[in-house]
Amino acid sequence: MLDFKKTASQLIAREVDSMTIQEIYDAFEVPKFTQMGDLAFPCFKFAKVQRKSPNIIAEEISKSIESNEIFEKITSEGGYVNFTISKAILAKEVLLNIESQKDFYGSSNIGAGKTAIVEFSSTNIAKPFHIGHIRSTMIGNSLYRIYKFMNYDTVGINHLGDYGTQFGKLIVAFKLWGDKETIENDPIPELLKLYVKFHEEAEKNPVLDEEARQWFTKLENNDTEAYELWKWIRDESLKEFNRVYTLLDVHFDSFAGESFYSDKMPAVLTELRESGVLVKDAGAEIVDLSEHNMPPALITKKDGSSLYITRDLAAAIYRKNHYNFYKNIYVVGAQQQLHFKQWFKIIEMMGHEWAKDCVHVEFGTVSLEEGSLSTRRGKIVFLEDVLNKAVEQTAKIIEEKNPNLENKEEVAKAVGVGAVVFQELSNNRIKDYTFSLEKTLSFEGETGPYVQYTHARACSVLKKANEYSLENINFDLLTDERSIEVIRILNKFPEITMLAAEKYEPSIVTRYTVNLAQEFNHFYHDNSIITDDAELTKARLLLVDAVRQTIKNGLYLIGLKAPEKM
């Protein structure tokens, strides 16, 4: 496909000798309004040297560029040289490019030969998979798909919270109040009851906390009873988690959790001690980070037991040695910002230059309308319950509006789950938000079901038309305002996917799919697709198919299905 920006850069380069073509290419902007053009080159940086206003410089450059069939208009305005791409050429290049690339439209080879690790979801064993977990799970799943789309060798890791003092607490609670058969019948709710009861009782009897610490130390020392109880709790929890992951269509390449690194920590502690990074402090071991304006990082407790940070250090070193990653991405809430800054800095202090390749992709919190989530107090909303309610409500809507729809259950699942996921990924990830089941299950406005329905509408048009030829399409028939606006948006998709990868921001893709769906529906409303004019029909069907394909690709990147019928 023609690189319009590159062509414009070459034209500018003939008039500007103080910048390389790449510098010119990178300087281009997209005008705020389409009537100003498709590409805009700013001339402000030349004003001081040439002692002229940017407006005059832009006007001189625009007038000196010879006419070009690719650009129907080259003008100047407000210190910019504006390029308007020939509408017929734009339509031809964009639509045939989408037709040839199909499921790969919008992808890139930028990641070829590079490994990107995306750690996400990372649920805690024996604790509920609640609505708060949807953030890491779906942001991470989308980034995993986006990086694969960019041709990275992508590794999705679920760093399970399957180690730590909480297991000591659960073991104590189980031995005091638990029943194995009851737990196996309903693992997570029953384990949650034990966890909540432990904290209630520990407030009255602090000795329980000490017993919990002792049991975790036994687990670290491979005590048989502690290990068998831990493994049983882990296995039962994973059965529950995998049911939710299946519903969300989320997959991992590794479930190596905190416990996986327990035998790798001694080597890391040795390295820390030998490098002089680790110092003793009242029987514990810490890393002093005061010169980096951070509090000290506790690495081992007085009893020698490890902490989260110890295991994160071991995990990062293992991943570098095992995967030789180019990027090591952690999709974890903003509350853990200090934790990640601390151990990233420790990795750097240990002499590992790849510390710069570790990225904390943080996100805001989720709260309930009546207050914050709290596992300790049992104040949660189970994610599986939310997803199932969404599917049930969707099924009712289908039964009312399209009772003869094929595969009703499959479509209800795709649309219901999609509504929840889309709502999660529709806002910037760093923003806090309050979860509302009513708002999430609304099927009006800028929602997942709206975009999915637009895809189904495009599929319906194409099915009605049956087959059509791509030969000898007259692209001049797609130069009207509605058609060309859709084509301009289609043309932005590769840029959108690249930007989403660079900023670790799935909402960029989510908002794009809404924008494309809205513009296509305007086009659909104003134009008959299948007409008495065979040439016009053929051209418009190609446009419809390009929209269908691009929406499908966009939905895939944010973890949604694209039903062909709704």
Can you say how many angstroms the Cα of residue 24 is from the centroid of all Cα atoms in its chain? 31
Closest CA to 420 of 239, 243, 558: 558
Q: What is the pLDDT of residue 370?
A: 58
Mean pLDDT of the region 155-162: 95
Phi/psi of residue 214, nearest 5 degrees: -65, -40
Mean pLDDT of the region 379-400: 88
Q: What is the pLDDT of residue 209?
A: 94
Does position 119 have pLDDT exceeding 60, yes or no? yes
d(CA 337, CA 335): 6
Cβ neighbours for 7, distance < 8 A, ≥ 6 positions apart: 68, 70, 71
In the β-sheet with 358-361, what is the strand arrangement from edge to edge? 153-157, 115-119, 327-331, 358-361
Is residue 490 within 8 Å of residue 523, measured between CB atoms?
A: no
Q: What is the pLDDT of residue 319?
A: 98
Q: What is the pLDDT of residue 58?
A: 96
Mean pLDDT of the region 64-78: 92
Q: Which fold has domain 4-85?
A: Gyrase A; domain 2 (3.30.1360)
Is residue 198 within 8 Å of residue 375, measured between CB atoms?
A: no
Is residue 416 within 8 Å of residue 394, measured between CB atoms?
A: yes
Residue 541 identity:
L
The per-residue pLDDT for range 395-429, each reduced to its tens digit, is: 999 999 999 999 999 999 999 999 999 999 998 99
Does position 382 have pLDDT exceeding 60, yes or no? yes
CATH of segment(s) 383-557: 1.10.730.10
The per-residue pLDDT for range 255-299, each reduced to its tens digit, is: 999 899 988 989 999 999 999 999 999 889 999 999 999 999 999
d(CA 520, CA 452): 13
Is 199 a known active-site residue? no
Tell whether the torsion through CA atoms of 75, 71, 477 and 565 is positive or negative: negative
d(CA 408, CA 402): 9
* CATH 1.10.730.10 in the chain, residue ranges: 383-557
d(CA 394, CA 440): 12
> What dihedral angle (degrees, nearest 10) is formed by the CA atoms of 8, 13, 15, 18?
140
The per-residue pLDDT for range 78-112, each reduced to its tens digit, is: 999 999 999 999 999 999 999 999 999 999 999 99
d(CA 440, CA 443): 8
d(CA 87, CA 38): 10
Is residue 378 within 8 Å of residue 196, measured between CB atoms?
A: yes
Q: What is the pLDDT of residue 437?
A: 67
Residue 169 identity:
K
Active-site hit among 5, 92, 133, 561:
133
Among 284-288, 439-443, 544-548, whose mean pLDDT is lowest?
439-443
Tell whether the torsion through CA atoms of 51, 52, 53 and 54 is positive or negative: negative
d(CA 454, CA 284): 60
Can you say how many angstroms the Cα of residue 232 is from the centroid of all Cα atoms in its chain? 32
The per-residue pLDDT for range 312-353, each reduced to its tens digit, is: 999 999 999 999 999 999 999 999 999 999 999 999 999 999
Is residue 124 within 8 Å of residue 161, measured between CB atoms?
A: yes
Among 126-130, 140-144, 256-260, whose mean pLDDT is lowest?
126-130
Active-site hit among 5, 92, 127, 327:
127
Is residue 551 within 8 Å of residue 239, measured between CB atoms?
A: no
Does position 211 have pLDDT exceeding 60, yes or no? yes
- Collapsing DSSP states into helix, strand and coil, what is residue 361? strand
Q: What is the pLDDT of residue 516?
A: 98
Tell whether the torsion through CA atoms of 273, 274, 277 and 282 is positive or negative: positive
**Beta strand pairing status for 80-85 and 358-361?**
unpaired
Is 360 a known active-site residue? no
The token duo for 129 is 């998979």
Q: What is the mean pLDDT of the chain?
A: 92
Does position 521 have pLDDT exceeding 60, yes or no? yes
d(CA 106, CA 492): 9
d(CA 503, CA 492): 16
Closest CA to 81 of 66, 56, 59, 65: 59
Q: Is the model more confident about 443 or about 192?
A: 192
Reported as a pLDDT band with limits 50, 70 and 90, residue 371 is: low
CA distances from 394 to 221, 287, 400, 415 (A): 51, 53, 10, 7
**Beta strand pairing status for 327-331 and 115-119?**
parallel
Is 127 a known active-site residue? yes
Does position 531 have pLDDT exceeding 70, yes or no? yes
Strand partners, 243: none
Phi/psi of residue 74, nearest 5 degrees: -130, 115
Strand partners, 300: 285, 306
Cβ neighbours for 551, distance < 8 A, ≥ 6 positions apart: 451, 454, 455, 458, 513, 516, 517, 562
Reported as a pLDDT band with limits 50, 70 and 90, residue 49 is: confident
CA distances from 392 to 372, 413, 419, 422, 474 (A): 26, 8, 12, 17, 46
* CATH 3.30.1360.70 in the chain, residue ranges: 4-85
CA distances from 259 to 21, 216, 241, 305, 339 (A): 52, 12, 17, 13, 19
Does position 436 have pLDDT exceeding 80, yes or no? no
Provide the 10 A C-beta neighbour count for residue 404. 6
In percent, the amount of the chain with pLDDT more than 90 equals: 78
Is residue 226 within 8 Å of residue 171, measured between CB atoms?
A: yes
d(CA 192, CA 116): 35
Active-site hit among 87, 130, 327, 455:
130
Cβ neighbours for 485, distance < 8 A, ≥ 6 positions apart: 34, 519, 522, 523
Q: Is 114 left (phi over 0), alpha (psi -120 to 50) or beta?
A: beta
Cβ neighbours for 387, distance < 8 A, ≥ 6 positions apart: 244, 247, 248, 416, 417, 420
